[in-house]
């Protein structure tokens, strides 16, 4: 007989794994479909200090490993495949993947988002080794160091100000001659004595042997190319990139309601516009994208799915 899942969760980051744990614990047939490696963005973080109750020296990978164990203890099935489409078939949902097609009563979309990359040489190699996309996660590693923050939007300016609480000096690097951020945010930034702004400038190359050692910049007006090296006494510095995020929601366009930036619109019970389809974590429209908020969303989405099944099947 054709297998019908209770919940199919798309994405195996903290939101998906929390949804898996709650679903399986409620004795629902729960399947997590992961595209790449388990864990999502958090596995690129060396230290997780802001997840309440996490053990000292917890890393992104160790936290995810424990979440996976918990899912397995309760019997969540996990498979690797890439979702291409969700179709609604009567009261069921059909999840079409690259390798297989699955049938389910409910779906939880937990596909996350990825920070937009600069695309500069050296960026990939030095990510997590001086290059970061998350001040909340990594600012304290740069206590008393010099830090550069790229971007001119609300996130970049707010995060650059946050970084001044840790770093000796923060230079905000923006590609144009005026910031995009809201005027109220800009006013605060201009008053911050530890924050300098370098306008009309882009990152050309990021250099370092296992750790960030220097950044090559280009002034877009004068065409001048110049390199800033980490102070010798520090040996390294920080480069934070805040040039927007890209939610992994492309394949759901047309079925699921999203905002202009592609984030899924869900209510406080993680319901989307489609009955029986829920969304959780960084792929949704929200204020704070962290492990704690993703996990909470996943738990809520699972309980919502459970209630939907009770009411409709
Ligand atoms: P954003 O508003 O899209 O800004 C992205 C910034 O990165 C822009 O300044 C852009 O430059 C720059 N940029 C983009 N691609 C670049 C590249 N390849 N190289 C260099 N710079 C690049 O993104 P966001 O700041 O993350 O904000 C996202 C949304 O969240 C916005 O709607 C924002 O208002 C909202 N938000 C609100 C708050 C708040 O209200 N407190 C806080 C955070 C975020 P250009 O300016 O030249 O395009």
pLDDT digits (tens, 9 = 90+) for 15-60: 999 999 999 999 999 999 999 877 777 765 656 778 888 878 888 8
- Are residues 20 and 128 both part of a single domain? no
Mean pLDDT, rounded, of the chain: 94
Does residue 153 line the site of ligand 1, with CB under 6 A?
yes
The pLDDT value given to residue 228: 98
Q: How many CA atoms lie within 13 A of 281 on its CB side?
A: 31
Sorted by sequence, the CB contacts under 8 Å of residue 43 that are 6+ apart come out as: 37, 60, 61, 64
Does residue 180 line the site of ligand 1, with CB under 6 A?
yes
The Cα–Cα gap between 91 and 311 comes to 12
Does residue 178 line the site of ligand 1, with CB under 6 A?
no
- Are residues 83 and 229 both part of a single domain? no
The Cα–Cα gap between 206 and 27 comes to 49
- Are residues 149 and 209 both part of a single domain? yes
- Are residues 13 and 69 both part of a single domain? yes
- Are residues 204 and 233 both part of a single domain? yes
179, 220, 244: residue to mutate for ligand 1 pocket, most atoms within 8 A of CB: 244
Where helices occur in 29-102 by DSSP H, the ranges are 60-73
Q: Tell me, in angstroms, the distance from the centre of ligand 1 to residue 239's CA.
A: 16
Residue pair 32/78 in contact (Cβ under 8 Å)? The answer is yes
The pLDDT value given to residue 53: 84
- Are residues 260 and 224 both part of a single domain? no
Q: Domain boundary at 197, 219, 241, which?
A: 241
Does residue 220 line the site of ligand 1, with CB under 6 A?
no
**36 CB burial (10 A radius; 0-12, 13-18, 19+):** exposed
- Are residues 127 and 229 both part of a single domain? yes
| Cα angle for residues 236, 240, 243 (degrees, 5° grid) | 155
**311 CB burial (10 A radius; 0-12, 13-18, 19+):** exposed
Query: Hey, how many other C-beta atoms are within 10 angstroms of the C-beta on 51?
Result: 16
**229: Cα separation from own chain's centroid:** 29
- Are residues 141 and 234 both part of a single domain? yes
Ligand 1 closest atom vs CA 152 = 9
- Are residues 110 and 258 both part of a single domain? yes
Domain count, the chain: 2
The pLDDT value given to residue 46: 59
The pLDDT value given to residue 1: 55
Annotated catalytic sites, by residue? 134, 137-138
The pLDDT value given to residue 174: 98
Q: Domain boundary at 220, 241, 262, which?
A: 241
- Are residues 135 and 279 both part of a single domain? no
Q: Tell me, in angstroms, the distance from the centre of ligand 1 to residue 209's CA.
A: 30
Containing structural domain, residue 52: 4-115+245-312
Q: Domain boundary at 241, 264, 283, which?
A: 241
Q: Can you tell me which residue has the tokens 């498979």?
A: 79
The Cα–Cα gap between 237 and 217 comes to 15
Residue 159 sits in a domain of what CATH number? 3.50.50.60
Regions of the chain where pLDDT drops below 70: 1, 43-47
Q: Are strands 113-115 and 245-247 parallel, antiparallel or unpaired?
A: antiparallel
Q: Tell me, in angstroms, the distance from the centre of ligand 1 to residue 153's CA.
A: 3
The Cα–Cα gap between 174 and 155 comes to 12
Residue ID of nearest Cα to ligand 1 atom 5: 243
The pLDDT value given to residue 157: 96
Ligand 1 closest atom vs CA 245 = 26
The Cα–Cα gap between 160 and 147 comes to 9
pLDDT tens digits for range 254-294: 999 999 999 999 999 999 999 999 999 999 999 988 899 99
The Cα–Cα gap between 81 and 78 comes to 10
Ligand 1 closest atom vs CA 118 = 18
- Are residues 22 and 110 both part of a single domain? yes
Does residue 176 line the site of ligand 1, with CB under 6 A?
yes
- 259's tokens: 């905002």
- Are residues 284 and 175 both part of a single domain? no
The pLDDT value given to residue 47: 65
In which element (H, E) is residue 297 found?
helix 291-312
């Amino acid at each position: 007989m054709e297998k019908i899942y209770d919940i199919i969760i798309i994405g195996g980051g903290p939101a998906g794994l929390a949804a898996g744990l709650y679903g399986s614990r409620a004795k629902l047939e729960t399947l997590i479909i992961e595209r790449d490696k388990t864990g999502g963005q958090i596995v690129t973080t060396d230290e997780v200090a802001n997840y309440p109750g996490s053990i000292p020296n917890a890393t992104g990978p160790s936290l995810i490993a424990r979440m996976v164990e918990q899912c397995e203890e309760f019997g969540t099935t996990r498979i690797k495949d890439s979702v291409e489409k969700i179709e609604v078939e009567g009261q069921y949902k059909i999840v079409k993947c690259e390798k297989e097609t699955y049938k389910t009563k409910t779906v939880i979309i937990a596909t996350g988002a990825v920070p937009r990359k600069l695309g500069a040489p050296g960026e990939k190699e030095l990510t997590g080794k001086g290059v970061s996309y998350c001040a909340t996660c990594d600012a304290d590693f740069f206590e008393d160091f010099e830090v550069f923050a790229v971007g001119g939007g609300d996130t970049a300016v707010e995060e650059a100000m946050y970084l001044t609480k840790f770093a000796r000096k923060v230079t905000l690097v923006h590609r144009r001659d005026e910031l995009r951020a809201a005027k109220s945010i800009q006013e605060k930034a201009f008053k911050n004595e530890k924050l300098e702004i370098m306008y009309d400038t882009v990152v050309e190359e990021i250099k370092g042997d296992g750790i960030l050692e220097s950044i090559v910049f280009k002034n877009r007006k004068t065409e001048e190319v110049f390199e800033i090296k980490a102070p010798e006494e520090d040996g390294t510095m920080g480069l934070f990139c805040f040039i927007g995020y890209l939610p992994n929601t492309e394949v759901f366009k047309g079925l699921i309601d999203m905002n202009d930036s592609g984030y899924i619109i869900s209510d406080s019970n993680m319901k989307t516009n489609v009955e029986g389809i829920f969304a959780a974590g960084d792929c949704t429209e929200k204020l704070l994208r962290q492990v704690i908020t993703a996990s909470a969303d996943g738990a809520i989405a699972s309980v919502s799915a459970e209630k939907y099944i009770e009411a409709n099947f």
